[in-house]
A and B are shown apart, each in its own frame.
Chain A
């Protein structure tokens, strides 16, 4: 892989050079990179390792927003390659959502794409999805799994209420939890869930256990 050139990509990103960033990633795909490689080596680190180099809070905020926007474009542009690279369908439906007031959605989008790659029928239904809308989607679409992406631990407050309600509405539904808030076991223990899945490897393992 062009790992040695990660610095180059980050440099474009640091200066909000959107075109250069997108072209750079497209070239990677043209050279045969997998969606997983690109996400794991470029997209995810670009956000996870982001450190603001300014002391001014306002600057940091808009820089972060600009960066997120570039990453989004890259994610959208990667979809055609994803269609090509995805594995055989396994006939399992997953709804992916960020709960009420959770705006961090990049992780959820990436997770959705990973699930699609592994043959799941995965749908992302949005950031900041109010509890009633999640419940409505679950009762209409009747998925096998509901995957919730939670970044800010505070959103566990709303998630707990949501999962309790979901258990009442659909007792067969399996709930998957992912996102940074799930990394604290004590915090995680407060919600009712069936699986915790974080990385691509986790998804592969999860799939194996299902089949």
Chain B
């Protein structure tokens, strides 16, 4: 073992240039893999983030009814899965806001801001001067309502609901989600404000969640959440509502995977053929080692170790190169594509490169064990 490793090391060091070329080859492969993998992962993350990053990823409702004992339900669900990042109860109603002659139909959403802000990130979206509508009958409005209604922070505004009657709100802020649908219609306020209006006691209409692993939403729903609660509850996930986004993402993932597979295949072919040449180059040494009594298995190990060493150094260099490339890309390309460099992914790429190198060394290793001493000794 030790001897085979040392011989492998010496063989590699003895032909430095050749070794360097192979390592560079592997490194280029790994760096491409790291670069493309990270870029696509970054793109996907940002796409996912803009689509579902600021909204509920799993929502629980009761058909035509409010949820009464919601605190217990929240605790129950929160405990059912480690994957739930945040869980927040909300109460939503609708109606119109009226200011002078202007009237807009709106969605009145009551939140527990301590948790809801983790889902919706209101704080980031508030325009300067805004505050959280923490007190009773304080509201913050979608930015478009500011113009449409002609109001500003500090103004009062009338809420009108066909069912629940009127209520005067105090405007404490505006937010900008960058999405017209929300900016036109959302009016946010504390949970108690809405509960007060609908007058049903301490109830909520939805329980909303965000996850750590967003793509596991369906699994979590089926395996963990639904098993613990009554089947009257209706659980919807972002996935069931965004099939097209999902197929898009999967398409990207597959093409990224394809690229990576081809990179690995070319790395394997490259190493394999170079090592095959090395076996020829070193056949004299192998012959003499065999004459001295080295076991065939140990002779093969030399080349497996060569593969491994090439893989390790190729991977290290490749990762450095790939990260450098990503850095250069983000710094100089001018685009603001967010890049995610994930230690796990880097480790995986390195692992794949090393494994691939060793697989590539397999055929030369077998070849070396089959090499006949006598041919080498005879042909000098």
Q: Do chains A and B touch in the complex (CB under 8 A)?
A: no
